[in-house]
Amino acid sequence: MFDKILIATRGEIALRIHRACREMGIKTVAAHSTVDADAMHVKLADESVCIGPAAAVDSYLNKANIIAAAMLTGADAIHPGYGFLAENADFAEMVEAHGIKFIGPKPQMIRQMGDKINARRLAQEAGLPIIPGSSLLHSVGEALESARQIGYPVLLKASAGGGGKGMRLARNEKELPQAFTLAQNEARKAFGNPDLYMEKYLETPRHIEVQILADDHGNVIHLGERDCSIQRNNQKIIEETPSPALNAEQREALGCMTVAAIKKLGYTNVGTVEYLYQNGQFYFMEMNTRVQVEHPISEMLYTFDIVREQIQLAAGLPLSVKQENLHPQGHVIECRINAEDPTNFCPCPGKITGWHVPGGLSVRVDSGMYAGCVVPPHYDSLVAKLIVAGRTRNGMLLRLKRALGEFVIEGVQTTIPLLQEVTQNPDFVDGRYHNHWLQEFLDSKKTKQ
């Protein structure tokens, strides 16, 4: 097992990784930017190293500085968390080349699944159904021809994409040229890669994903599915498990299909296979080769530490459990709380002057914030994740209502009021929602105003 792990990320996931390491008896090094010097995980880590100024490109995306910090402190592994360099194959290769273990899948697998066009091909070869789509599009002319074959509406997507960036919808031939240009420019700016491909646009799909874990010995397990359909601009806001849209037979089939595909791919460590689901049919969308923001709901459903297992897998240990020994209990939901104006989603950085998190049975809060700390303007606006479990879905939602009402964050605006409104809406309570439901809900609010 590792003696010391350098944590190459920030925020709540950095603290989450530190806690897993501490429980395993592993020392931690917090690699941080100048503005994160007072972050909670930095205060709690055994050592800390400043890797650069506030701008992410100079700190959390600075490969050389991170590796130098690991070598300086004698860390024998680097955990990238999510975001930043977590899915950067070049970084993973550099880490391994310096004799340091990268806690994640093999660099080649990161590269293969990071290319969305290649990932579609690999998924199809592994037996997963894919959405009708195109190969790499070199021009507007090729896009127009592909759209005629697929049928409108279509969605243009960045090949190197993620996080909802580099995506544009075209409902007809007139809209396509501008959508192509906008998607290409956004992809170039966000990923340094303008390559696009196209998929058939589904009008009312649900975003269903499967958490998998795989060791170096050919063993693969899944931790059920998560429904991540409450999204704004393709960014997840609320996730729950199990999905209210699936029955037991569909759930079992989806898990088995995903595990079989992962075995064929030869994937190892932690990952998430994401699908779109509509009219009883699943379509592979992409695979994330890292721990997910929403991993806590799977942890609570199965009483299983995903981050601890991820570290053990990186050390070459076999999976600690078999599929038949995993028994989900109840229902779990996660609400992402952002420091944003809940009416227009503008970021609201600043100093947190008051902080009180809810507690009680089956209530968990993942956050690196505290009273007196500052939410910087340089990074993602996520300040906390509220995770709530219940024996039934209705009981879970009642507990969530109570927990959201107890959560106090003063000094900055947050999205708590919106989360309260959404999770008490009859459509959500009845499980009648899809990927575009939240945007339709927000549009209807504007119309009424």
| Contact by Cβ (8 Å): 103, 77 | yes
Q: Please tell me the distance from the alpha carbon of residue 445 to that of residue 343, in angstroms, as a whole number.
A: 10
Catalytic residue among 120, 290, 336, 364: 290
Give Cα 382 to chain centroid, integer Å. Answer: 12
The strand pair at 4-7 and 27-33 is best described as parallel
The strand pair at 77-79 and 101-102 is best described as parallel
Distances (CA, A) of 62 to 4, 84, 86, 90: 21, 9, 12, 12
Q: Which spans in 128-279 are helix H?
A: 140-150, 176-191, 248-265
290 belongs to the catalytic site: yes
Closest-CA residue to 3 (of 21, 18, 30, 23): 21
Q: Please tell me the distance from the alpha carbon of residue 125 to that of residue 358, in angstroms, as a whole number.
A: 46
- On the CB side of 23, CA atoms within 13 Å amount to 12
Based on the number of CB atoms within 10 Å of its own CB, is 189 exposed (0-12), middle (13-18) or buried (19 or more)? Answer: exposed
Question: Cβ atoms within 10 A of the Cβ of 356, count?
Answer: 11
End-to-end CA distance of the chain: 58
Residues labelled catalytic: 290
